[in-house]
Amino acid sequence: MLIPFTQPMDLESTLESGQAFRWRRGQSDSPDHPWFWGVVFDNLVKIRRTEDGVEFFSAPDGEVRLSALLQDYLRLRDDLSSIYQSIDTDERVRAGIDDYTGMRILRQDPWECLISFMCSSASNIPRISKNVEDMGRNFGRPLSLEGQSRHTFPTARELAVAGEARLRELGLGFRAAYVEKVAEIAAEGRIDLFTLREASYDDALAELTALPGVGDKVANCVMLFSLDKLEAFPIDVWIKRALEEWYLSERPGGAKLVARELRPWAQQHFGPYAGYANQYLFHKRRLQGKGARA
Q: What does the binding site for DNA look like in residue numbers (CB under 7 A)?
A: 17-19, 117, 120-127, 168, 171-175, 177, 209, 211-219, 221, 234, 236-238, 258, 260, 286, 290
Min separation Cβ 4 and DNA, Å: 30
DSSP string, 10-53: -HHHHHTSSS-S--EEPSS--TTS--EEEEETTEEEEEEE-SSE
Q: CB of 39 within 8 A of CB of 62?
A: no
Min separation Cβ 88 and DNA, Å: 22
The set of catalytic residues is 217
Nearer to DNA by Cβ, of 31 and 289: the residue is 289
Min separation Cβ 1 and DNA, Å: 29
Q: Supply the angle between the helices 156-169 and 175-187 in degrees, to the nearest 10.
A: 170
* Bridge partners for 55 per DSSP: 2, 48
Nearer to DNA by Cβ, of 175 and 229: the residue is 175
Helices and strands counted in the chain (H then E): 13, 7
Name the DSSP letter for residue 197: G
Nearer to DNA by Cβ, of 74 and 242: the residue is 242
Nearer to DNA by Cβ, of 212 and 272: the residue is 212
Q: CB of 70 within 8 A of CB of 41?
A: no
Count of alpha carbons within 13 angstroms of residue 121, beta-carbon side: 19
Min separation Cβ 171 and DNA, Å: 5
Nearer to DNA by Cβ, of 17 and 267: the residue is 17
Min separation Cβ 180 and DNA, Å: 12
Q: Hey, is 142 helix, strand or coil?
A: strand
* Bridge partners for 39 per DSSP: 44
Closest CA to 280 of 80, 123, 107: 80
How many whole angstroms separate alpha carbon 222 and alpha carbon 19? 9
